[in-house]
Amino acid sequence: SQKIEQNSEALNIQEGKTATLTCNYTNYSPAYLQWYRQDPGRGPVFLLLIRENEKEKRKERLKVTFDTTLKQSLFHITASQPADSATYLCAPYSGGYQKVTFGTGTKLQVIP
């Protein structure tokens, strides 16, 4: 069955450093993968989408890579700030009508 793995342990980093979050998937080949941010008590917010023919995508301080051979996406936040503290969800497309499947997310804590 399709499986998505994100590090369930919280990631704590110092302000100004680069945070790197990992998303691994197994048993399918998604045409694209999305990343979302979720703050406590709120719905997820879309950040970036990367397609299978794209190696890297950037948006301001965010960078996403997509390695279809390793079946892995990495999400980077450069020059991290305390305001970046949130849970980040990856969501590979799993086929059919907009069926993205969400990972359980990684909680990021940026320490001032």
Interface residues with other proteins (CB under 8 A) are 31-32, 34, 41-46, 49, 89, 93, 96-105
Shortest distance in whole angstroms from residue 17 CB to other proteins: 26
Q: Which is closer to other proteins, CB of 41 or CB of 112?
A: 41
Q: Rounded CA gap, 76 and 101, in Å?
A: 21
Shortest distance in whole angstroms from residue 107 CB to other proteins: 12
Shortest distance in whole angstroms from residue 40 CB to other proteins: 11
Q: Which is closer to other proteins, CB of 14 or CB of 104?
A: 104
Q: Which is closer to other proteins, CB of 17 or CB of 58?
A: 58
The 3-state secondary structure of the chain, one letter per residue: CCEEEECCCCEEEECCCCEEEEEEEECCCCCEEEEEEECCCCCCEEEEEEECCCCEEEECCEEEEEECCCCEEEEEECCCCHHHCEEEEEEEECCCCCCECCCCCEEEEEEC
Shortest distance in whole angstroms from residue 50 CB to other proteins: 12
Tokens representing 9 are 């342990």
Q: Which is closer to other proteins, CB of 63 or CB of 107?
A: 107
